[in-house]
Amino acid sequence: MKVELQKWTIDHKEDLIRICNEADRSFLSGRLPYPYTEEAADWWLGMVSEHDGRDGVFRAVTVDGRIVGNVTVEQKADVYCKDGDIGYLLLTEYWSKGIMTEAVRLICEEAFSLLDIVRITGLVYAPNIASQRVLEKNGFVREGLQRNAVFKNGMIQDLCLYGKLKQK
């Protein structure tokens, strides 16, 4: 099984729509529309083409050439401009195979190389132990817990704060 990251292009629109509609949304941000439409894909792919490599790194996660997920690092602004937020999703049939662990390793290398940042922040819902492990396996350190920070699916949840610093 070969895990690689690939730049998103307009040619991937159908794959983007597929993964966004099939993804388990239990721990995803509410800003990801559902159903994920062609218009949503056009907007996102346009944003990616404008920002990729400048203030973000946006990659499709592929396994043996098939797009199965997404991973991004988006540089923050203002006084937080040396920090980037990491986000990712993976289709459920690919969970627990080390795929996202490898994808996060690759995106962190690329983000630290391309972007003018010194850290990457990961915010994870407290019940999402698998996502916490992905970050920990990649050298992210749990820096804190934001109590009652997220309202998702009618429930208030804690949010774990993780950070990874750029190696000098």
For residue 141, give its domain range: 3-165
Q: Report the CATH number at residue 142.
A: 3.40.630.30
Other beta carbons within 10 Å of 84: 27
Give the per-residue pLDDT at 139: 98
Give the per-residue pLDDT at 123: 98
Give the per-residue pLDDT at 168: 78
Contacts 24+ apart (CB under 8 A), 46-51: 48/8
Query: Considering its fold, how many domains does the chain have in total?
Result: 1
10-residue block means of pLDDT along the chain (168 residues)? 97 98 95 96 98 98 98 98 98 98 98 98 97 98 98 96 95
Say whether pTM exceeds 0.95.
Answer: yes
Give the per-residue pLDDT at 23: 97
Question: Exposed (0-12), middle (13-18) or buried (19+): which is 32, by Cβ within 10 Å?
Answer: middle
- Buried b / exposed e along 99-126 (16+ C-beta atoms within 10 A): bbbbbbbbbbebbbebbebeebbbbbbb
Give the per-residue pLDDT at 134: 98
Q: Please compute, for residue 166, the number of CA atoms within 13 A of its CA located in the half-sphere on the CB side.
A: 16
